[in-house]
A and B are shown apart, each in its own frame.
Chain A
Amino acid sequence: MRPGVEITSERNVPKPGMTWRSGAGPILLLGALALLVMAEPAFAQVPAGRDYGDFPVIGGRAAVWIAAQVHLLFAAFVLGVPMFAVVTEAIGMFGGDERYDKLSKEFTRLLLVAYSATAIWGGILLFLLVTIYPTLFSYLAQIFNLSMWIYVGLFFFESFTLYLYYYGWDRWKKGRAKWFHWGLGIALNVWGTIVMFIANGWLTYMMSPPADVTVDTAPQMVQLWSALTNATWMPINIHRLIANVVFGGAVVGAYAAYRFLAAKSDEERAHYDWMGYVGNMIAIGALIVLPFAGYWLGREIYEFNQQMGITMMGGFMSWLWIIQAFLIGVLFLAGNYYLWVGMGRIPGAERFMPYTKYMLAVLIVGVIVWATPNTMIASREEFAAMGGTHHPFLSVLGLMSGKNTAVNFMILTTFLSFLLYRRANKEPVVPWARTGTIVQGAIFVVASAIVLFYGIYGYMVPTIVRIGFSVYQVLTVLACIIGVITIDLLMLRGATSRGEIQWGRMPERSQYALFILAVTFTWLMGLMGFARSGIRQHWHVFEVIRDTSPWAATPALGYSSVVISACVLIFFGLVAFIFWLGSLAEKPVISSVGQASAAGGIQSELQPAPSEG
């Protein structure tokens, strides 16, 4: 940490005549101060004459925006996938199920091609930054030089670890070599995580520079470690770690859906049906914990700067959260739809099918409540009839209490869907099965009652008390999920099966739900990226470096949505192309499974172990 500071000052001390080589600390300091004195007036002049490059047609900001967003999407993919690739490999290793090992390898194959795209877009972003925002970039480079070098080095390690991990897969398949191989996977994750943490340091510095950095602070004086570990750094790290898993799962799901639709044989269909299911499960599972990380990040933003928090939640970005509510509504509906359609291929699921319509009703009411705007868009006549911009009856739903209650019910419902899906073809054999189910039901009822109670009670207390209620509600839901799943795991031990899941017998429309999920996740990431970056408003580095470019004003959501859509299109266009290339070059992984089926029978091999959820 300290070395960073030293190097920073050394580099900038003018060489001739200075006695800093004698090693006396104070002289070094004096030298730095002298330099500062010389540099300071020049630095003060910079805002007036700071130059920006331009980019044809779309403008410099949009160019950098798109490059950054597409780079980030690829980066999220290559950071998210290794996390569950290593987990699935471990399941294969310890569970002795070859299928998981194959799945893990297929994940990694996607990784390989996506990795170079990440690097290319990183390069594009870097060159655009240097040419379009030269002054800002040189400012950041002066603070972060050391970390940038480390970053590049780690990137190097990461790529080669990935090559070893993929190409060594079949070579180190058995015994201790397999352990080594798994270790490579872990190392891959470690490198990736550090790389992301470093890059997060740069961007969070722009959002929340340390308090002692002001307009007058020369970049050489900023300590590297304090700049990296700023207020929002850790929350963003955690938030992105989880979101990367969600995103990786969703894109893998979309890939599997594509291969499912393109499949020529039943074996292939079965394999990709299963892969899509796993991807979807990973995405939805990680999504449920994401709001906690988001809540922490939001709190840190408020604590760093109230005004920034208010800009984000109540200021010009307040409508962004209505869009977010809409997108998350789409995610919930599509995720549940996929599960419900999937029940059609599970023998025994017909027992639960009649209940889906009630769960659907809860979800729809939840979405309606959650997306009800507090301030409505209406014509003059309608305002006159309402007597203001707030509807006298519906505005009740627009408040935080109503919305939190709605979203908690949606989470509970999705969890119930998942539970029924899990239970569909199983028949518990433990003697207390009936009691257990009743207890599970009771937990659900109690949790719903608590969520509802706080939802209604929230209207009767002041705002400050009400904010605390959302924590109680979320904790209740979490406790319910943990309690019910524990009972479920114990209860279904050794459960008899009503028949195996018929992988591959899935209607095609379910696969389109996976596409919608992937597109929505990606778009949501773009939107949240805009929110995170946009709350800086007209600052490059918040309250330190002003944005004096022609694009300093933060755009409205309409324009942003067009840019985000363009990013998503570019991303999926490239992904499709890369995957298509991959299928040209290699035989599908499934072919080996197909050969195995001749000997062992594909149907049994592709079915998950009963314990698999």
Chain B
Amino acid sequence: MNTKPWKHPLGQAAIVVVLAYLLFEWGIWLLPPLFGVASAPVPATVVLQYMGTVVVGVLIWVSDSEERWKQFKAPIHRVMVDPRQKVLRTALMVTIPLLVAFMTFDRVRPTVSAPAALRSVHPAPPGQIDFRGETMVLNGLENPLRHEGDLEAHYEEGKRIYVQNCMPCHGDALDGQGHFASAFNPAPLSFQDPGTIVQLTESFVFWRIAKGGPGLPREATPWDSAMPAWEDLLTAEEIWQVTIYLYEQTGWEPRTWEEEGAEGEEH
């Protein structure tokens, strides 16, 4: 055993495996952003799959020549039979089963996370909803307060309602960064995001506020959105007012029904 570890097949194999693990676990996640390419942590199942492939590759490499295979096996063999290696042998005999046991435990141990599923962020709304015992047809419904009363007053009222009820999660800048936001998964939506309320009609927003997480249809499952159903706490007028506040404050225009009809004709 005079050779340096990195010259010995066993050492080289270990180095390759460790480097591959670092690459899959951290490299794919952290390196592309340095070059301006988006990336994210790799799911455990994929890392496992990649590592399996690499380990098979390493085994092929160490055993495809008789000489290398003997070299590779020699230290393992020595550890298993040499009387002088008793301490190391015993240590391995204890740690390896323990490691396997721990990995097994870690896999089967119950966790609190919900099962994985595909989730649609903007599910299709129902044609009509039942609001405090009254049937509201959402299709074609517009914010009634836009045409009655003082818009400024509605806005101020909506602001009060927002700060009292919505701000803790959706944030004072309406960006989904409220105090509680980081505790939720899925996270509260940012209204500043060009992918949220600007894509929706006010009736859709009304529906989401009124029915909250519990009222999500099936394609938006699992039902772990923390959004409460506000219909029991706010009146219809209050919900319309806070809707006005959301659009006025962010500067977005709500999507309107006529516009869609016109677009529809083009097709």
Contacts and interface: CB of A to CB of B under 8 A. Distances in A.
Interface of A: 329, 333, 336-337, 340-341, 344, 353, 356-357, 360-361, 363-364, 367-368, 371-373, 376-387, 389, 391-394, 507, 509
Contacts of A333: 56-57, 60
Interface in B41-73: 41-46, 49-50, 53-54, 56-57, 60-61, 63-66, 69
Contact of B43 (A329, A341, A376): A376
B43 A340 contact: no
Contacts of A340: 60, 64-65
Of A361, A377, A381, A393, the most chain B CB neighbours within 10 A belong to A393
Contact of B37 (A329, A341, A393): A393
B39 interface: yes
Contacts of A392: 38-40
B64 A368 contact: no
A367 B53 contact: yes
A153 B67 CA distance: 57
Given A378-B45, A378-B116, A394-B46, A387 B60 contact: no
Given A373-B46, A378-B43, A363 B57 contact: yes
Contacts of B45: 376-378
Interface string B83-99: 00000000000000000
A363 B53 CA distance: 10
Given A344-B66, A392-B40, A509-B63, A329 B53 contact: yes
Nearest to A338: B64
Contact of B40 (A371, A379, A385): A385
B108 to A, nearest CB: 14
Chain B contact residues (Cβ within 8 angstroms of A): what range?
Answer: 20 to 34
Nearest to B64: A340
B57 A376 contact: no
7 contacts: A336-B60, A337-B63, A340-B65, A364-B54, A381-B185, A393-B37, A507-B66
Contacts of A380: 113-116, 185
Interface string B20-45: 00000000100010000111111111
B118 interface: yes
Contacts of B46: 372-373, 376-378, 391, 394
Nearest to A371: B49
Contacts of A361: 57
Given A378-B43, A379-B43, A393-B32, 20 more contacts: A341-B64, A364-B53, A368-B50, A372-B46, A376-B45, A377-B43, A377-B116, A378-B46, A379-B113, A380-B185, A381-B113, A382-B41, A382-B44, A386-B41, A386-B43, A391-B40, A391-B43, A393-B28, A394-B42, A507-B69
Contacts of B69: 507, 509
Contacts of A378: 43-46, 116
Contact of B116 (A363, A371, A383): A383
Contacts of B115: 380
A356 B53 CA distance: 17
B64 A337 contact: yes
A169 B45 CA distance: 56
Contacts of A389: 118
Of B37, B42, B43, B57, the most chain A CB neighbours within 10 A belong to B43
Which 7 A-B pairs have CB atoms at the shortest separation, nearest pair first?
Answer: A378-B43, A393-B39, A364-B57, A340-B64, A392-B38, A386-B40, A382-B43
A368 B63 CA distance: 21
Contacts of B40: 385-387, 391-393
A322 B111 CA distance: 28
B155 to A, nearest CB: 33
Nearest to A392: B38
Nearest to A381: B113
Nearest to B39: A393
Nearest to B68: A353
A384 B185 contact: yes
Contacts of A360: 57, 60-61, 64
A364 to B, nearest CB: 4
